[in-house]
Structure 1
Amino acid sequence: MASLSVHSDRLEIHLTRTERTLALRRDSIVVQRESIRSVIITEDPWIWLRGIRSLGSIIPLIVAAGTWKFHGGKDFVSIKRHRPAVVIDLVDEEFARVILTSQHAADFIDSLKLPAPPTGPTT
């Protein structure tokens, strides 16, 4: 399962060796935090696939890894069976959406939340 590293300015998605092989991808995926439009948790990641597999592997309802192209761009997918996953919608990045199976989806979403700006009296 991919590991997610949240930094103050970016999100790094480090794929396992198996995921890199299945996805036919060498590098980690790095996205700027300001490019993240929304993040949700889904119980059925398969319904979020759109378009056709361009580069990668799929065994329907078992595993999907790689790039899926659709009319508006491309998505990166790394999902396994019917496990919970995060769906990350992006703007101005290599991928329009990243879908990843994750056991720690709720913790990941919490780590993306920015602290609220301090509020105080205005003068």
Structure 2
Amino acid sequence: MARLLVWGAELVVRLSWWEKAAGLHGDVRVPLSAVRQVMVEPDWWRALRGVRRRGLWVPGGLCIGVRGHHDGKDFVAVRPRRPVVCVALRPSSPFGLLAVTTPDPEATAARLRRLAPDIESTRWRQAIPVPPDTA
């Protein structure tokens, strides 16, 4: 199972070897200063935005890899029927959101909120803005 770790000044999504293979991606590293919000999403499917770009998606089974949407891309390592830690990142980051199922989501989120230097106070994930119609 994926883990969210803080190593020095970085937030790391640590993947197992099979998650790396399934997600077609290695461990994800972002500066801890890029963390904007940390939330726990009780409904796992709400953490998935956009469509699969790279990785594995088994409906009702597993979603791991990069998901794309009109506002950018997210990295997800989500298992169904479990709460998900959602880490919203600042625009300078390669991803807009990291969504990871962890063994203890509340404790993980609390630790990240404590360690992130400049985090916003809201605990609710903001929706992606809808692009205007071009028709």
TM-score class, shorter = 0.7 to 0.9
Match of 2:124 in 1: none
Higher strand share: 1
Question: Is contact 2:3-2:100 (8 Å) kept?
Answer: no
Residues 35-74 of structure 1: matches in 2 within 5 Å?
A: 35-74=34-73
Match of 2:130 in 1: none
Q: Please identify runs of 4+ aligned residues in structure 1 that moved more than 6 A.
A: none
Question: Is contact 1:79-1:85 (8 Å) kept?
Answer: yes
- Paired with 2:50 and 2:78, the residues of 1 have a C-alpha distance of 16
In the TM superposition, what is the alpha-carbon distance from 1:76 to its structure 2 partner?
A: 0.5
Structure 2-normalised TM-score? 0.78
Aligned residues: 115
Superimposed CA distance per residue, residues 44-86 of structure 1 (whole angstroms, 9 cap, x where no aligned partner) = 1212211110001111121101100100110001111211110
Match of 1:120 in 2: none
- Paired with 1:54 and 1:21, the residues of 2 have a C-alpha distance of 15
Match of 1:100 in 2: 100
Secondary structure at the counterpart of residue 82 of structure 2: coil
- Paired with 1:81 and 1:114, the residues of 2 have a C-alpha distance of 27
* Aligned CA distance change for structure 1 residues 86 and 70 (closer, same or farther; 3 Å): same
In the TM superposition, what is the alpha-carbon distance from 1:7 to its structure 2 partner?
A: 3.4
Question: Is contact 2:87-2:97 (8 Å) kept?
Answer: yes
Superimposed CA distance per residue, residues 3-55 of structure 1 (whole angstroms, 9 cap, x where no aligned partner) = 22213522111101121111111x21111111111011112121221111000
Q: Tell me, which stretches of 5 or more residues in structure 2 are unaligned?
A: 117-135
Match of 1:4 in 2: 4
- Paired with 2:107 and 2:30, the residues of 1 have a C-alpha distance of 18
- Paired with 1:7 and 1:111, the residues of 2 have a C-alpha distance of 13
Match of 1:14 in 2: 14
Comparing 56-65 with 103-112, greater Cα deviation is found at 103-112
**Matched letter for residue 84 of structure 2:** A
- Paired with 2:80 and 2:50, the residues of 1 have a C-alpha distance of 19
Q: Which structure's CA Rg is the greater one?
A: 1
